[in-house]
């Protein structure tokens, strides 16, 4: 029989962070590990929408498909602008 006098605790496990930066980093790493040129492959994916440009190694294809392609472009452009100190 359950102890109804004490409060029970329930903890929901949170999923790991899946922000655009994290996803791009993971995809870049997976493509590099498999010997692909990550820039060419990511550009191919963004331009065509064809997920086969991205390897399934380390779940990279599934990860990149969680993000809209325009969000990928936006994130990369933001980082480029920041890197070049244009803002």
Helical packing angle, 69-83 and 38-48, nearest 10°: 130
pLDDT, tens digit, for every residue of 30-51? 999 999 999 999 999 999 999 9
| Distance, CA of 78 to CA of 46 (rounded, Å) | 16
What pLDDT is attached to residue 4?
A: 76
**Rounded alpha-carbon distances, angstroms, from residue 45 to 36, 42, 70, 83, 85:** 13, 5, 11, 23, 27
* pLDDT tops 60 at residue 14: no
Average pLDDT, the chain: 90
Half-sphere exposure of 28 (CA within 13 A, CB side): 9
């Amino acid at each position: 029989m359950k102890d109804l006098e004490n409060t029970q605790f329930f903890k929901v496990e949170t999923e790991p962070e899946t922000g655009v930066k994290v996803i791009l980093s993971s995809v870049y790493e997976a493509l590099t590990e498999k010997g692909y040129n990550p820039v060419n492959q990511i550009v191919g994916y963004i331009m065509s929408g064809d997920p086969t440009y991205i390897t399934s190694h380390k779940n990279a294809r599934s990860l990149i498909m969680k993000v809209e392609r325009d969000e990928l472009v936006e994130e990369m452009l933001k980082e480029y602008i920041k890197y070049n100190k244009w803002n």
